[in-house]
Structure 1
C-alpha cells in the first residue's frame, strides 16, 4: 500500500488562489512538478521565492554558507506571538549566543540522563493504550499525550499529569490547529503594519501558554536559588553560562526557549510517531518485526543499540512525513543558482516534503520501505537528500534526543499491542504547525 499524500494543485494559479491554498494547507498548495524539479521559482508582487531540491545547493544553503542564508523573517512573523525571540527564530550573533548556552544540555552524554524520563513516559503511554484494547483510537491524540509527557519529564521532571503540565499541553493542542504555518503578513512588505492578521484566538492561546511557562520557569529559578532544583534539562539550560560572555538566560529569554523546546520536542515527535504507527498498521510484516525486536527491551540505556528495525522504521516515517515540511531562508546577498539570479532578499525554500519524495533521487520515493536505509541509494540519499531536522549549523538541537525517543516509544507501544488501519478512514496529510492528518489517524488497538 502506497502511503497517502495530498493532491497537488495545477501548475498555474493566481496569487490570491495560492495565498488561500497556502493558508489552508501548505502541501496541497504546491504543484506536482516540485517532486521532480531541481529548482523552481515563484513570484509575488513583493518578493521572489526559489524552492531548491538540488542536493549540492541544499548543502550550500544549510551547511557551507548558513550565515549567508539566515532564517526568513516572513515565516517568523506567524510564530512570534508564541516563540518570542527563541533560538528557532533568531539569526546571527544572537542565535550563536543562544546555541552556545543550549547545546551543552543536548550533548551525547545527556541522552543517558534523559533516558529514564523517556522510558517512564513510554511505559505510561503503553499502559494507557493497553487499557483501550479493542477500541478504535485517534492515534495522534495519544502520541501527542506521550510526546508531551516525554518533554515535561525531561525538561521539568514533571509527568503530564501535573496540573500545570496538563494545562500547557491542552493549550498547545488548541494552538496547533489554529495557527497556519505561514501568516498572511508574510505575503506583503512590512508585516509589522498588519498585526490584525493574527487570529484573536491564536494570539490569546499563545499568551496563555507563555503565562503557564513563565510560572514554571520562575518556580525553577526559585529552586535553583534554594539548591533544590532537579538535575534535568531546564536546570542545565538555566544554569549554563555563555562561555564567551559569562551570561545566562534571563527569565523572559528562558520562556522563549522553553516554548520552542516544547513545540519542537512535542509537536514534531507526536507527528512522526503517529505517522510511524499508521505506516506499521498498513504494513503488518514490519509491525511484527518491531514487536519482535521490542521483546528484548529491559529499560536500560543499552536498549538504544537494540532498536535497529525500530530506528529504520522511524527514519522512514520522518522521510515520508517530515514534521516540518518546509524551511525558509533569505538570501543575504545576490546569488547565482543553476544560472538563475537570486536577488538579495529572495526567499530560499528548502522542502523536506519534496526532497524526501524526489522522483530523481530516491528509489520508490512514495513507498514505505525501511529496508532502503541499508541500500546504496538509501545511504546516499540519507547523506544528501534527507533533512527532517534540517542540517549544518542550524540542525535541530534535539535531533539526537528525537532519534532515541521515537524508536523507543514505537517499540515499547508495539511490544504488547497490535495496530490495524481502517480502510474507510485513510488519513490525508496536511501542514499546520507540523504535518498532521486532516481528520486524525484512526487505528484499531488490540493486545498481542
Structure 2
C-alpha cells in the first residue's frame, strides 16, 4: 500500500498550556498540576537534554537523550530498580506482582506470564477481540452521542475478563469498573505523602474512595484465585496459579497469584482503553484520515499479523501513543553511582523517565506536537531510535503485554471503523488529565454515524 501524505492541513491536538519557565517545586502539589502529571511543563523542558532537581530531600534526574535512557533501561538496567516509594504506592493494589517486583522475583514472574503473550498466543485471540468490538457496536444508534472513553473501557474490560480470567462475571460489573478508576485516582493523589516519606493518610475523599476500591478489588480477585484451587485451571490466571505453586510456598504463591491477577486486570485493560480513546479523538478531528483507515480495514481479513495487514492503522496507533502515552511517567532509582551523559548519578537518585516529554522533545522529533502518523511509515526519512519512543518502556522490562494491547486495539478499531464514522462535537474542549494514566478530562463524547 502506498504511503499517503498528510490528508488534511496540519493538526495540533490538545495539550496543556506551557509556561515559559518552570514553576517552583511546590506548585506541583496544587491546582491543575496536582491532578494531572502532564500539566505545568515549561517550554524549556521540551528542548533541554537533561533536567536535574532537588525535591524535598530527593535528587530527581530526568534524562531525555536516547543514549542516557538506553543506559538506564538496558545497558546498566540492574543498577536502576523500581524506587521504593513507587513500590509503596503500588503495594496496596498489586503487591509484589510483575509490575512492582525486581530481581529474581521479577524474572520468575516474567517467565511465567510470557507464554500467554507470544505472537501466536495473541493472534489466536483476534476473533475474541473482534467479537467484543461487534457486541459493543451493536448497542449504538446512528446519530447518537456516546462517551467513547467509557465505551472503550467497557470493551477492553470485557476482553481482559474473557481472555485472561475465563470470563469471570465478577470482573465485568459496574462496581469493578468504578473501583479501578477510584484506585488509579487515589494512587496519584497520595504521591505527596510518599515523596515526603510520610504515611499515606486518607486526608481527602479521593484517597478514602481509593482505599475502599483497592480493598474491593483485592477481595474480588482473591476470591477468584481461591476458587480456582491449587491447580488453577487452563486459562491465563490458572497457569499463573499453577506455576507459582510449583516455585513458592503455598502462602506466598497465593499472594503472588492475587498480585498478578490485580496487575493484569487493571493495567491490562486500562492502557488499551486509553489508547483507543485517544485514537478516536484524533480521528474525529481528521475525517479524511479516518476514512482512509476505514477503507484499509474494510478490505482486510482480521487474522494473523494485524500490524502488517493494517500499516496505516498501526502507524496511527503509534502516533497516538507518541502524543498520548498511556503511562506518561515511570521511575527508577539508582542502586549505585553512575553517569548519564554529562551528568553524575549518585546512589539513591530518582531517575524519572517521561514519555510525555520525550515523545514531544524538539531535539528528537520534527513538529513534535503535530499529529502525523506518516512519521511511523518512514515518510520523513528519519529512523526512530528505540529509546526516543518508549510507550511500553524499554529494555528487559518492556511491557510483556505490548503485542496484546496493540493487536487488541487494531482489531477493535478496524471493526468499528468498517461500520461507523466518529464525529467530533461542535466547540468541544479536550484535555489530557491523570497522574497514573492519561484520559481526556470529562470523557470523550463523539457522535457515531453509520458508514
TM-score, L = length of structure 2: 0.90
Deviations along 1:43-85, one digit per CA (max 9) or x if unpaired, are 1231110111001001111111111011112223222211111
Q: Unaligned regions of 5+ residues in structure 2, if any?
A: 1-10
Distance 2:266 2:380 in 1: 33
1:354 — aligned with what? Answer: 357
Contact 2:274 2:326 in 1 (8 A): yes
SS of 1:253 mapped into structure 2: helix
> 1:352 Cα deviation (Å)?
0.6
Distance 2:116 2:135 in 1: 25
> 1:101 Cα deviation (Å)?
1.6
Instruction: Note if 1:339 corresponds to 2:316.
Output: no
SS of 1:281 mapped into structure 2: helix
1:212 — aligned with what? Answer: 220
Deviations along 1:310-355, one digit per CA (max 9) or x if unpaired, are 1111111111100000111111112223333222111101111111
SS of 1:250 mapped into structure 2: helix
Q: Which moved more, 1:34-43 or 1:370-379?
A: 370-379
1:17 — aligned with what? Answer: 27
Distance 1:30 1:15 in 2: 12
Instruction: Note if 1:447 corresponds to 2:450.
Output: yes
2:7 — aligned with what? Answer: none
Partner residue of 1:385 out of 358, 383, 388: 388
1:203 — aligned with what? Answer: 211
1:322 — aligned with what? Answer: 325
> 1:178 Cα deviation (Å)?
4.1
SS of 1:237 mapped into structure 2: helix
Distance 2:189 2:61 in 1: 18
Partner residue of 2:172 out of 160, 165, 168: 165
When residues 235 and 209 of structure 1 are mapped into structure 2, their CA distance, relative to the original with a 3 A threshold, is same
Instruction: Note if 1:5 corresponds to 2:12.
Output: no
Deviations along 1:206-249, one digit per CA (max 9) or x if unpaired, are 00011111122222337x46xxx4x4322232233699x58797
Partner residue of 1:363 out of 362, 366, 390: 366
Distance 1:80 1:8 in 2: 33
When residues 311 and 152 of structure 1 are mapped into structure 2, their CA distance, relative to the original with a 3 A threshold, is same
Q: State how 1:133-282 maps to structure 2 within 5 Å.
A: 133-158=142-167, 162-166=169-173, 167-180=175-188, 183-189=191-197, 191=198, 193-196=199-202, 199-221=207-229, 224=231, 229=233, 231-240=234-243, 245=247, 250-282=253-285
1:54 — aligned with what? Answer: 65
Q: State how 1:273-312 maps to structure 2 within 5 Å.
A: 273-301=276-304, 305-312=308-315
> 1:172 Cα deviation (Å)?
1.5
Q: Unaligned regions of 5+ residues in structure 1, if any?
A: none
SS of 2:141 mapped into structure 1: coil
Number of paired residues? 436
Q: Which moved more, 1:263-272 or 1:101-110?
A: 101-110
Contact 1:6 1:430 in 2 (8 A): no
Deviations along 1:397-423, one digit per CA (max 9) or x if unpaired, are 101111111111111111110001124
1:436 — aligned with what? Answer: 439
TM-score, L = length of structure 1: 0.90
Q: Which moved more, 1:331-340 or 1:388-397?
A: 331-340
Distance 1:378 1:85 in 2: 43
> 1:10 Cα deviation (Å)?
5.4
> 1:9 Cα deviation (Å)?
4.5
Distance 2:77 2:162 in 1: 33
Distance 2:397 2:36 in 1: 25
Partner residue of 2:50 out of 33, 39, 50: 39
> 1:2 Cα deviation (Å)?
0.8
Instruction: Note if 1:63 corresponds to 2:74.
Output: yes
Distance 1:107 1:30 in 2: 37
Deviations along 1:21-55, one digit per CA (max 9) or x if unpaired, are 54321111322211111101121231110111001
